[in-house]
Amino acid sequence: MTIKIGIMGYGNLGKGIECAVKQNKDMELAVVFTRRDPEKVSVLTEGVQVCRAEDVKDWVGKIDVMILCGGSATDLPVQTPELAKLFHVVDSFDTHAKIPEHFGAVDQAAKESGHVALISAGWDPGMFSLNRLYANAILPEGHDYTFWGKGVSQGHSDAIRRIEGVKDARQYTVPVPGALDAVRRGENPELTTRDKHTRECFVVAEEGANLARIEKEIKTMPNYFADYNTTVHFISQEELMRDHAGIPHGGFVFRTGKTGWNGENNHIIEYSLKLDSNPEFTASVIAAYARAVYRMAQDGTAGCKTVFDVAPAYLVDMTGEEIREKLL
């Protein structure tokens, strides 16, 4: 008996899910749904059907967990509550400010239909959130620090591409080494936005474009760049394709805190990720949570869940005896 997985949306994340399913022997890919013409979408897994997104209802009862690979801006706020009426689902909704609203909509749909819907799986939100929670539980008196990178920010790359005269761009978020070190030494520094991260931009300009203007527009862009030390490198399209094709990311979650009758002892908890492929790692987290969703559903659970609600034992394809013997 394998867990039959459906994928809704076949972009970078959907492909990552397909690869993750291949690595998990207790799962199989049942179907991929796309809003494109299914004839024009070819998947990697032999024998797997590609279907139209609007035909998803035909698959009720034929898949165990549907994984939603759309974007948080417009896809998931609609798709997750809709599909939670039909399937157990997992998404990677990552608009932090809108999580309460999303949770409410999904929870209602999942509870009414008796499904388990896990939202915001991935690494941030996801593994970073878990590490913040565990560390806060252990050290109630302390300081939290999260650093991101070195990695590609899709949102910032897109913002640069919208500037007139820009053909293509890739933006890296980079943690400031000195700030990381100060936190790691337990100095509990007060860090501004500028102290924590720098932004490095690789820009392909259109021929004849005013480079000085583009650079200035980038560096002064509110929210995205104005609060950071930003460097801009103009490169050719060939260089961009050759040197910046990957989607690496990662980051660091710290909590520093005190224990002892008078707070005399210091402790530093650090979690870090160094990822060659942001979407594939996110997909790997989601696959583990799809297993958990399947099992929680078998227990008779229903409603919207987050990583905080999932007992870790549900995530691995091992019995209780095995995990106590091998991992405890």
Footprint on this chain of a copy of itself (rule: CB under 8 A): 16, 18-20, 22-25, 44, 96, 99-100, 103, 120, 125, 127, 129-134, 136-141, 186, 259-261, 265-277, 280-281, 283-285, 288, 291, 306-313, 315-317, 320-321, 323-325, 327-328
Residue 267 to residues 53, 137, 179, 184: CA-CA distances in angstroms?
Answer: 50, 13, 18, 10
Please identify which residue in the block is written with the tokens 């520094």. Answer: 189
Q: How far apart are CA 328 and CA 319, in angstroms?
A: 13
Question: Whole-number minimum distance, CB 43 to a copy of itself, in Å?
Answer: 10
Q: How far apart are CA 15 and CA 43, in angstroms?
A: 8
Does the CA dihedral 82-83-84-85 come out positive or negative? positive
Question: Whole-number minimum distance, CB 10 to a copy of itself, in Å?
Answer: 14
CB of 286 within 8 A of CB of 146?
Answer: no
State whether residue 139 is helix, strand or coil: coil
Question: Whole-number minimum distance, CB 96 to a copy of itself, in Å?
Answer: 7
- Please state, as a whole number, how many other Cβ atoms lie within 10 Å of the Cβ of residue 55: 11
Q: Please identify, using beta-carbon distances, which residue of 60 and 133 lies nearer to a copy of itself.
A: 133
CB of 78 within 8 A of CB of 53?
Answer: no
The single-letter DSSP state of residue 165 is T
Q: How far apart are CA 228 and CA 234, in angstroms?
A: 19
Q: Give residues with Cβ within 8 angstroms of 281, minimum separation 6.
A: 16, 123, 249, 273, 275
Residue 265 to residues 136, 190, 207, 269: CA-CA distances in angstroms?
Answer: 16, 20, 60, 13
Q: Please identify, using beta-carbon distances, which residue of 7 and 273 lies nearer to a copy of itself.
A: 273
Question: Whole-number minimum distance, CB 168 to a copy of itself, in Å?
Answer: 22
Token code pair at residue 75 = 């896809």
Question: Whole-number minimum distance, CB 7 to a copy of itself, in Å?
Answer: 14
**What angle, rounded to 10 degrees, do the helices at 278-298 and 12-23 form?**
60
State whether residue 189 is helix, strand or coil: coil
CB of 60 within 8 A of CB of 82?
Answer: no
Question: Whole-number minimum distance, CB 67 to a copy of itself, in Å?
Answer: 15
Q: Please identify, using beta-carbon distances, which residue of 22 and 143 lies nearer to a copy of itself.
A: 22
Question: Whole-number minimum distance, CB 51 to a copy of itself, in Å?
Answer: 21
Q: Please identify, using beta-carbon distances, which residue of 244 and 291 lies nearer to a copy of itself.
A: 291
Q: Please identify, using beta-carbon distances, which residue of 43 and 218 lies nearer to a copy of itself.
A: 43
CB of 94 within 8 A of CB of 279?
Answer: no
Q: Please identify, using beta-carbon distances, which residue of 134 and 234 lies nearer to a copy of itself.
A: 134
Q: Please identify, using beta-carbon distances, which residue of 164 and 243 lies nearer to a copy of itself.
A: 243
Token code pair at residue 118 = 């896990």
Q: Please identify, using beta-carbon distances, which residue of 162 and 274 lies nearer to a copy of itself.
A: 274
Question: Whole-number minimum distance, CB 50 to a copy of itself, in Å?
Answer: 16
Q: Please identify, using beta-carbon distances, which residue of 233 and 324 lies nearer to a copy of itself.
A: 324
Question: Whole-number minimum distance, CB 161 to a copy of itself, in Å?
Answer: 25
